[in-house]
Amino acid sequence: MIPGASWTRIESDELGSRRLPGEALYGINTLRAVENFPVSGMKIGSLAPLIRAMALTKKAAAAANYRLGKLSARKAEVIGRVCDELMAGQHGAHFIVDVFQGGGGTSSHMNLNEVIANRGLELMGRACGQYEHLHPIRDVNRSQSTTDVHATALRVALMQGAPGLERALLALADTFAAKAQEFGSILKLARTHLQDAVPMTLGEEFHAFSTALRHEAARIWPASQSLAGLNLGGTMVGTGLAAQPDFAETVIAELQRLTELPLRRDDDLVCAAWNSAGLVQFSSLLRGITVTLSKIANDLRLLSSGPRGGIGEIALPAVQSGSPLIGGKVNPVIPEMVSQVAFHVAGADVAVGMAAEAGQLQRNAFEPLMAHCLLTSLGMIESAARIFAERCVQDIRAVPEACAGNLSAPGTLAAGLVPLVGPEAAADIAEAVADGKDLGALLRAHGLASGPAD
């Protein structure tokens, strides 16, 4: 409800009549949904990418209906203006339906239709609820259904979000690459199975992080293309019932123009009405990205562990106090955050798969859950990658003395070099290091590191 509403209005549907705040842009269908689903406290208004994409879809539909002679120029213009306001982030307080809802997104869709109609009435100089002048169903929703509008908007929102995620991962990769260059000459001990292995450089270790992230970033846009086939115009089950014959082609062309995305009509609209395979694949992509991010985060935690009683080969930036009892203790809070995002995304991926499988016959009733999981995961990963780069990776310091100390112990060094140069040469190098010779020069002399031998 709208706090401090100065007047009320009454709206009616087939279930009866209800009183609403006079200034509320939502209507009776939204009110009933709010009463039915007081579940999580998370409102669809928090899914800003979905609201923007739904508004884009409605704007395209209004333009298409006008071109086909099914909507007046005035109504199409008003609907378009309201959609522009929604895309600019206005009126978010009126999207009050819980993200967990029955009906396959009908409650979210009706919330949108009612907000557009009532805000449009305001722009027309009318009072909210005077639907004879602009109706949420007959005008705003003409030739559409929740089945095609919600599914289209979710796919558009994900495609629009994909470039931002790609940029965030590439920026993080660049940050690791810069550190790799900075740490290029620092020799250290590589570890496999958490056991001592062979010499490598800290730069090589950090460069591998950068490469892995670039590989993940390269998968994002191709994966998003599997979402480009839309069922818009197929209405309830994909047959196009209640839509104009040319509506699908007209509205998708208009939506493509508005979004500048390579959208197309799906080859089989009946299949597209229920098939969520593209969403499942995109969810799997998001989970794969966070698996890589969390692995890197865990490696940084290990490499910085101690620092005196652990590995301690790098020092993470101190961004907050680690303990109220131990002075100077610094916890790896940013990498820990990254891993927790990964755990959340993994759970969301399971939920998406279960929701997709649970769809029955010509409709998937669980698309709102998929929308919440996918859009929330995408946004969290983008934020986590940005924070990881800015609050952690760019300020990591190498601890060369720890790297050298862990590597230079004679027994450790000789064991690691045996597979590379044989037992005799390995023993000679280890002995020379124990006598004070430079390990890097010795490795270069045996062709085990780049650069001139001394």
CA distance 316 to 397: 7
Type and span of the H or E element at 367:
helix 367-391
* Neighbour-count burial of 123, counting CB atoms closer than 10 A to its CB (0-12 exposed, 13-18 middle, 19+ buried): middle
CA distance 111 to 121: 15
CA distance 19 to 27: 9
Q: How far is CA 113 from CA 89, 119, 137, 323, in A?
A: 16, 10, 7, 51
408-412 long-range contacts, Cβ below 8 Å, gap at least 24? Answer: 408/433, 408/434, 408/439, 410/434, 412/189, 412/196
Helix (H, G, I), strand (E, B) or coil at 274: helix
CB 380 within 8 Å of CB 346? no
Interior/surface letters 328-344, b for 16+ CB within 10 angstroms, e for the rest: eebebbbbebbbebbeb
Question: Could you tell me if residue 174 is left (phi over 0), alpha (psi between -120 and 50 degrees) or otherwise beta?
Answer: alpha
Give yes or no: 276 in active site: no
Type and span of the H or E element at 388:
helix 367-391
Identify the active-site residue in 323, 339, 377, 450. 323
Positions marked active-site: 323
